[in-house]
Amino acid sequence: MELTVSSSQGEVQHLDTSTTMPTRPKRRRAKPRKNKEDIENQRMTHIAVERNRRKQMNEYLSVLRSLMPDSYVQRGDQASIIGGAINFVKELEHRLQFLGAQKETEGKSDVGPVMPFSDFFTFPQYSTSSRSCQDSLAMGDQMAQVEVQSGIADIEVTMVESHANLKIRSKRGPKQLLKIVSGLHSMRLTILHLNFTTAGEIVLYSLSVKVEDDCKLSSVDEIAKAVYQMLDRIQQESILK
C-alpha cells in the first residue's frame, strides 16, 4: 500500500506503508490470578497439616520414650529418643540371641561342649571356630565371600557411615572390660552403648561406637584388626602377670 504526500514546494512523495508501519503484537492471555481468599485458605490448610504432623510425631516419640528405661534417654529431644531406641533394640536383640544360644547349649549338652553365642556372628573378620569360617564361605553364592582369619577371639565389625557395631567373643580375663574400654578410647572410638554377657568362661561384648573425625581407622577391616591386636596385647599382659 502506497501513501501520497504533497510538500509545500509542490513535490509529491510516495511512501510504502507496508514497510514503515509496525505490526501490532499479539495479545497474551492473562493468567487467572488467585484472589486473596484462596491464597489465605491454602496457607491455613498447609499450617493445619503441618501442625497435625508435628502433634502426631510428638505423640509417637512420647510413646517410644515410655517403652524404654530412663537410662537410654539422657535428654528429651527427638535425636536422643531415637538414638536411645536404637540402642535399646540392640540390647533386646542381644538378650534374645543369648537366650537362644543358652537353649541351644542345653539341647546339645549330651552331644558335647558347644561354644556359646555362635549364632550371634554372621561374617566375622576373625574367628576361633573353623565352623564359622566354613559357614561364612558357604554363602558365597548369595553374598560376597569373606576371608575369615583365625585368632584369639571372634570379632565382627559392621559399619554405617561414622557408627560401627562391634561383637567380641573371647575368654574372660582380669580387668578385661576396663582395658577394652580404655583401648577403644585411645583409638578414638567413642562408646555409645555397651552390653556384655557371660556363659561360663566365655564373654560376649556388644558395643556401639562412634568413629571420631580424627580416628585413623576408616574401614571395618581396619577396626577389626586394631581390636584383635588390642585383645592380643591384653591376653599377653595377663599371661605375663
* Superfamily of segment(s) 115-240: ACT domain (3.30.70.260)
Whether residue 217 contacts residue 223, with contact meaning beta carbons closer than 8 Å, is answered with yes
233: cell is 596385647
29 bridge partner residues: none
Q: How far apart are CA 73 and CA 75, in angstroms?
A: 6
Boundaries of every domain in the chain: 55-113, 115-240
119: three-class secondary structure by DSSP = helix
Q: What is the pLDDT along the chain (241 residues), one digit of tens a residue?
A: 554 555 555 555 555 555 555 566 666 665 556 678 888 888 899 999 999 999 999 898 888 888 888 877 777 788 888 888 887 887 787 777 667 666 766 665 555 556 777 778 888 999 886 544 444 444 443 333 445 555 688 999 998 888 888 999 998 888 899 999 999 999 999 998 888 888 888 888 988 888 999 999 989 999 999 999 999 999 888 777 6
CA nearest neighbour of 82 among 57, 52, 54, 48: 57
pTM: 0.57
- The predicted-structure confidence for 116-172, as pLDDT tens digits, reads as follows 777 788 889 998 865 444 444 444 433 334 455 556 889 999 988 888 889 999 988
Identify residue 125 by its one-letter amino acid code: Q
The alpha-helical segments, DSSP class H, found in the chain are: 17-20, 36-66, 78-107, 130-138, 176-186, 220-240
Instruction: Reduce the DSSP state of residue 109 to 3 states and report it.
Output: coil
